Chain A
């Protein structure tokens, strides 16, 4: 299809000339971030509903009751899954918000790295607490 000026349509090519010569394609990870956000959200659906229902039906737990509940193998395994998936999903989501709105570039990169660090440390702290009570 030609435009009125008679210029042929040229698609925008973002690959470098060297990359084209070497025939190296994409890293095959283009949709990985987006896809993992969906996979973790599906896994979090039942886990989160389980956690909210469990807490809502046992308000005002004593320390001994809480320790027993967290330390029960069934609950501990689900809690570990919940912790890992929650912070993976949270870090991925916050990253996208920052990528959209944080400016300038150094603020964007620094804040994304900070979010990843905080989410990783929170997840590790929570997992350690569960494991201490479960084993």
Chain B
């Protein structure tokens, strides 16, 4: 086994019979079928985490504008109420609920439960259906209070 860089060196180990083994790195983005329940939800969890960080930046904009005064605040409210703003907020709501539900699934795994394939598929479907339902409910509440 040849070592290509410093990171590679930390991946070299030996099996109990002494033969060398290269431990797996983070999932390769091209060689696997990424549309399986396992990998698709895993990569979407990361993607929605990144998207939600953008959403957190919007929250900062909203808070800072409120503290700056009515003019700055009206600008944010105008943008968030515009067509583009509403599409963005709908995407953010879906990303937030997905990341929340998928995160709960991760916490259950961390506690040592739900690792078998049938349960993994069931909880995966639950995350997808739950995201759709909770996103719809959030926007229903929003429209009713508008």
Contacts and interface: CB of A to CB of B under 8 A. Distances in A.
* Interaction A to B: yes
A29 interface: no
A42 B108 CA distance: 11
A14 B10 CA distance: 8
Given A41-B103, A63-B73, A3 B93 contact: no
Interface residues of B, number: 49
A128 B67 contact: yes
Nearest to B49: A93
B66 A12 contact: no
Contacts of A53: 141
A62 to B, nearest CB: 8
B18 A48 contact: no
B60 A125 contact: yes
B126 interface: no
Nearest to B6: A105
Interface residue SS majority, chain B: helix
Contacts of A119: 53
A41 B64 contact: no
B18 A3 contact: yes
B67 A12 contact: no
Contact of B138 (A11, A14, A56, A101): A56
B70 A3 contact: no
Contact of B63 (A87, A90, A126): A126
A3 B19 contact: yes
B46 to A, nearest CB: 6
Interface in A20-38: 38
B17 interface: yes
Contact of B17 (A3, A83, A87): A3
A79 B74 CA distance: 21
Contacts of A61: 77
Interface string B65-102: 01111100110010001000000000001001000100
Contact of A129 (B5, B13, B16, B64): B64
Nearest to B63: A129
Contacts of B138: 52, 56
Nearest to A64: B70
Interface string A1-24: 111010111111010000000000
A11 B51 CA distance: 41
11 contacts: A1-B16, A38-B110, A41-B103, A41-B107, A49-B100, A52-B93, A56-B138, A60-B77, A63-B66, A90-B56, A129-B67
Closest 7 CB pairs of A and B: A129-B67, A100-B26, A63-B70, A129-B63, A3-B17, A126-B60, A9-B18
